Amino acid sequence: MMKKIIMMNKIILLMLVLALGLVTNRTNADFTFGTPTNLEPPVNTQDSDGSPHISPDGLSLYFSSGRLGGSGGADLWVSTKETTDENWGTPVN
């Protein structure tokens, strides 16, 4: 299991790679973690998604994936959103 912790506006966003799936988790007010949330399609698929990285502004999610539409093997993909409260958009290779 790989963990990446990023500080964004006093909220820690925890990205976990569990069995090549992407989940997210935010801290509670007391800095304990709640229940992880699966990012689900269109971001999380059954195509070996992993190695997540969130941009400093929290609006772009970069990850590797073996999904269709790439160049073959593990390609770099990015999913974006307009605000941090929105769901992630369809990833682009």
Residue type, 19: A
- pTM of this prediction? 0.69
| The two three-digit tokens of residue 32, written as one number | 């304990």
Q: For tokens 């069995």, what's the residue?
A: 19
User: In this structure, what is the dihedral angle of CA atoms 62, 66, 71, 73, given to the nearest 10 degrees?
Assistant: 110
pLDDT of the residue at 12: 46
How sure is the predictor about 23, in pLDDT bands with cuts at 50, 70 and 90?
Answer: low
pLDDT of the residue at 25: 65
Average pLDDT, the chain: 75
